[in-house]
């Protein structure tokens, strides 16, 4: 998990969600398979 990319993704997505809809946050959990690949990719140290 790339924490920076994950948090950036959350901050971009959450304002556009209808939080009254049940289960809408499930797709944003770290273990969700629907997250973009960039969130799951770890950067190698330089």
CB contact at 8 A, 34 and 27 = yes
Q: Determine the pLDDT at residue 14.
A: 92
Cβ neighbours around 18 below 10 Å, total: 6
Q: Nearest to residue 13, comparing CAs of 1, 2, 29, 31?
A: 29
Mean pLDDT, rounded, for 5-20: 92
Q: What share of the chain is helix, strand, coil (3-state, %, to 5)?
A: 50, 0, 50
Q: Determine the pLDDT at residue 40.
A: 79
Structure confidence by residue, pLDDT tens digits, 21-46:
888 889 889 888 888 888 877 666 55
Q: Nearest to residue 5, comparing CAs of 44, 46, 45, 41?
A: 41
Q: Which residue has the higher pLDDT, 6 or 45?
A: 6
């Amino acid at each position: 998990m790339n924490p920076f990319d994950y948090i950036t993704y959350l901050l971009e997505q959450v304002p556009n969600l209808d939080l009254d809809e049940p289960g809408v946050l499930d797709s944003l959990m770290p273990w969700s398979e629907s997250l973009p690949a960039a969130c799951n990719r770890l950067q190698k140290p330089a």
